[in-house]
Amino acid sequence: MSSHEYYDMDSNPITIEEWACMERPHEKLDFADGYRVSTVFLGLNHAPEGLKPLIWETMVFWEGPSDWVNADPAQMDHYQVRTSTRDEAISVHNDIIKNIRNEQSWR
């Protein structure tokens, strides 16, 4: 495993200067049943040293009405998963959307 901090979208180490010049748009953005699910490329490693770099992030945000009877925003808002590859990030994103729509536990 690597101790690098910055990575390109293919998980290759890069310099801070290269990272600073990169575009980091949303990879996926979906809305489902009052939630916004966002997957982005961070490029900045969030893993402890010695582990695979975690450079992708999927987050869930509650955007529905605050008094919606079927929601518990306190338990679901700001749910976050960080992954090492784009494929892992897309898979996590799609699983979360599917589980929200099926009203299943997705944590």
* pLDDT at residue 1 in the model: 47
Asked whether residue 74 is domain-assigned, the answer is yes
CA–CA separation, 59 vs 92, rounded Å? 10
Asked whether residue 5 is domain-assigned, the answer is no
Q: Is the pLDDT of residue 39 over 50?
A: yes
Number of folded domains that form the chain: 1
* pLDDT at residue 72 in the model: 58
CA–CA separation, 56 vs 74, rounded Å? 24
* Range(s) of the domain holding residue 32: 16-101
- What's the mean pLDDT when you consider all of the chain? 85
CA–CA separation, 19 vs 21, rounded Å? 5
Asked whether residue 2 is domain-assigned, the answer is no
Average pLDDT over residues 44-73: 81
Asked whether residue 44 is domain-assigned, the answer is yes
Q: Is the pLDDT of residue 104 over 70?
A: no
Asked whether residue 11 is domain-assigned, the answer is no
